[in-house]
Amino acid sequence: MSSELRGKKIAILATDGFEQVELTEPRKALNNAGATTVVIAPKNGEIKGWNKKDWGQPVKVDLPLADANPHDYEALLLPGGVMNPDHLRMDPAAVNFVRQFVSTGKPIAAICHGPWTLVEADALRGKTVTSWPSLKTDIKNAGGNWVDQAVVTDGQFIFSRKPDDIPAFNKAIIEALVHAQEHAHA
């Protein structure tokens, strides 16, 4: 286990229907790099993952959204899955949390359908974004420039398209956090 991200708290905002590997794999990579990951959801207890074509494993909710403060975290992870971001973008508290996080300027990583919540928060204007291809029109309509690449970094944002991109996605997130840390100590 590496310690390059020791002391860093990473928020993972999700709800029922998150794509299983898009939460568990980045979380494992961040934890292995020494970070502390905190699963935040609009409800207590646990949230249910979606594993390709059916319900997957539940994940324990570490903190209810009502008690979460964006300023307590070094980065925000938005996993995909169709249901998860669709529910989050309809939840004013979730959209507000994301909007506040954007205003901190700290890294935000969104994969697959994850950028939907950023569309709702009006955060993608002028940004280069990748996502699951079905979000292309939504992202363009929100003022973003959609591209088809494994990973895209634009300012504070890191985007990937799908589970196959997770290794590149994880690497980009960790690099962004190490980079932010170096700038904080400069």
Active site residues: 112-113
**CB atoms < 10 A from the CB of 75, how many?**
26
Residue position matching structure tokens 């994969």: 111
Running DSSP on this structure, what letter comes out for residue 62?
S
Sheet with 46-51: strands ordered across: 18-19, 46-51, 54-60
What CA–CA distance (Å, rounded) separates 33 from 1? Answer: 6
Both tokens of 10, joined, read: 């990473």
For 130-133, the CB contacts below 8 A with 24+ separation are 130/159, 130/160, 130/161, 131/80, 131/159, 131/161, 132/80, 132/161, 132/162, 133/161
Q: In this structure, are residues 6 and 64 in contact, taking their beta carbons and an 8 Å threshold?
A: no
